[in-house]
Structure 1
Amino acid sequence: LLDGKHSEKEAFLIKLLRSDYYLAMMMHLERIASIFPRTSVSMMFAYGSGVIAQRNSEIKRNMIDFVVVVDKPLEWHKENLKLNSSHYSMLRYIGAERLTKLQTDYAARVYCNTMVRVGEFSIKYSVIRTSHLISDLIDWKSLYISGRMHKPVRVLIPPTSRELEEACKMNLKNACHMALLILPEKFNEEQLYTTIASLSYSGDIRMKIAEDRNKVANIVQQNMRQFAHMYEPILNHLCEEIPLTRSGQYFNHLLTTDNILHLLELLPSQVLFEIENYMQKCNPQQCDLEEIIFSLANDINYAEKLNNFQIIVYELHEKCRVDKRQGQMCTESK
């Protein structure tokens, strides 16, 4: 049944199996997540290889990763310390106020408890303030959580506010804009999703290691349906907004100077800021962002340079990892 050529009956059975698997997975995750306080929670989701299938990786053997988004982190940590103080190791002794300060004062603005045992499962969970996540989703301030949300996740509590919901959509739009600038004029659906999924991995030394070299491809090929569900509405809208045409799984994008300039202007503010800094170091005579992106749009090698900017974005992401280690928080693993 894996060759894509199914009878109507076979297609129905596959859909039924997928539906049953999805329901079982969600019930399983909800049981585990029931240990968390619900105080001021504005969103919760699970992500990573413990819940999203990857080729050559068994879900049941992998750690399960959660993100808990809260309006009031101090109140949430106070309640969680009462319910799950052992999750914090020695940090539980510094109290909720200092824990919250650790979370909100460092670049990624995420607090993480890792290697937590829940029954037979090993989990990791990250806590972030709602306003900080919104900033990361819209502007890619750290790409720490927003980068994970470029790929399929299992949403346990959907966004409770319109502002957060719109920020989640903007994050996916940002990823599409960046990918369109990197891809050639003609590309297919898998190439698009692979480019998007690789954004938060660019420059990561772990991706040079043999066991991780095909990580992005494994994620995308195993989850094409989920990627399509995430990005189809955005792609349909983009086809009306910019010179992007589609025929089945193939896309054609007219990369004129004006179109490149338009896409550059749509990039998240933190990426534009990093581009400005990088270009000013290369050419100090370029003095402002408008001049820089206009020059970049007219550069025949703009796509190659944007690939270098992916590394800049990753370095921003890695800087947040270092800041978290300095704050005695966990080292996150993608």
Structure 2
Amino acid sequence: MQAALLLLPDKFTLDQFYAEIVSLSYRGDFRLLFGEDRAKIRKIAEGSRAELEQIYLPLLKTSNDVSVQYSNVEQDTRSAAMYDRIVQLPVNILRNLQHQFNSRSGMQNDVEEIAGWLSQQVHGSKHISDIIEDIVRRSAWQQTVKNAFSAGATRSLAYSFAKLVKMLKSL
């Protein structure tokens, strides 16, 4: 939830929030570019709206820095709120952020220092989006390679062709 909030503007709708939640699993997945329905994320979010609402609406309503009025949401985007969201991200995202920042700076910053810096940046959420994309991209490639070897070349090509046809139909 925190990642989705960090990637959204200060005002958005619940539908935009649910689509952002769903998109986190696909951000950076190259397979969406080749062979998936272009509206896949929107369709999943719409089709799962009741379940997403059941999980996330109570969390949004009890969040101190989020206001929900009907289907409109407004969040606090000041540095302190952003910092709190960043430090609540999943550990693997925080580790990747820390590794990326420390390797670029040559310093050994802890997660809190990096979160403090990011929370004050206009485009701090871009760094978080990039990290999520990297994580999903690696996972997608690993899954594709494993599937290609386990299914065999012929079945993999047939599957890829069917996905490509499906994508073209969605255009």
Q: For this structure pair, what is the TM-score category when the shorter chain's length is used for normalisation?
A: 0.7 to 0.9
- Give the CA deviation at 1:284: 1.9
Residue-by-residue CA offset, 1:12-50 (whole Å, 9 max, x unaligned) = xxxxxxxxxxxxxxxxxxxxxxxxxxxxxxxxxxxxxxx
Superposed, which structure 2 residues align to 1:22-171 within 5 Å?
A: none
Segments of 5+ residues of structure 2 without an aligned counterpart are 157-171
For the 8 Å contact 1:200–1:313, the answer to whether it is kept is no
- Give the CA deviation at 1:263: 0.6
Match of 1:313 among 135, 149, 155: 135
| Letter aligned with residue 271 of structure 1 | I
- Give the CA deviation at 1:211: 4.0
Segments of 5+ residues of structure 1 without an aligned counterpart are 1-175
TM-score by structure 1 length? 0.41
Q: Measured at CA, do residues 277 and 315 of structure 1 come closer, stay the same or move farther in structure 2, by a change above 3 Å?
A: farther
Match of 1:232 among 32, 38, 57: 57
CA distance in 2 between partners of 1:329 and 1:282 (Å)? 38
- Give the CA deviation at 1:320: 5.3
| Letter aligned with residue 292 of structure 1 | I
Greater than 3 Å deviation, 4+ residue runs: 328-331
CA distance in 2 between partners of 1:287 and 1:226 (Å)? 39
CA distance in 1 between partners of 2:105 and 2:136 (Å)? 22
Residue-by-residue CA offset, 1:214-255 (whole Å, 9 max, x unaligned) = 1101111233223212222222222xxx21111100000011
Please tell me whether Structure 1 or Structure 2 has the larger radius of gyration of its CA atoms. Answer: 1
Q: Does 1:222 align with 2:47?
A: yes
CA distance in 1 between partners of 2:37 and 2:108 (Å)? 38
Residue-by-residue CA offset, 1:184-227 (whole Å, 9 max, x unaligned) = 00010111011000111111111123643211011112332232
Q: Which residue of 2 aligns with 1:190?
A: 15
| Structure (1/2) with the larger helix percentage | 2
Q: Which residue of 1 aligns with 2:99?
A: 277
CA distance in 2 between partners of 1:184 and 1:216 (Å)? 19
| Letter aligned with residue 80 of structure 2 | D
| Structure (1/2) with the larger strand percentage | 1
Residue-by-residue CA offset, 1:59-80 (whole Å, 9 max, x unaligned) = xxxxxxxxxxxxxxxxxxxxxx
Match of 1:290 among 96, 112, 132: 112
Q: Which residue of 1 aligns with 2:78?
A: 256
Aligned residues: 151
Q: Which residue of 2 aligns with 1:10?
A: none
Q: Measured at CA, do residues 255 and 178 of structure 1 come closer, stay the same or move farther in structure 2, by a change above 3 Å?
A: same
> Aligned-pair RMSD on alpha carbons?
2.4
Match of 2:125 among 298, 303, 311: 303
TM-score by structure 2 length? 0.77
Q: Measured at CA, do residues 293 and 308 of structure 1 come closer, stay the same or move farther in structure 2, by a change above 3 Å?
A: same
* Aligned-pair identity (%): 23
Superposed, which structure 2 residues align to 1:240-251 within 5 Å?
A: 242-251=64-73
Name the SS of the counterpart of 2:68 in structure 1: strand
CA distance in 1 between partners of 2:112 and 2:71 (Å)? 35
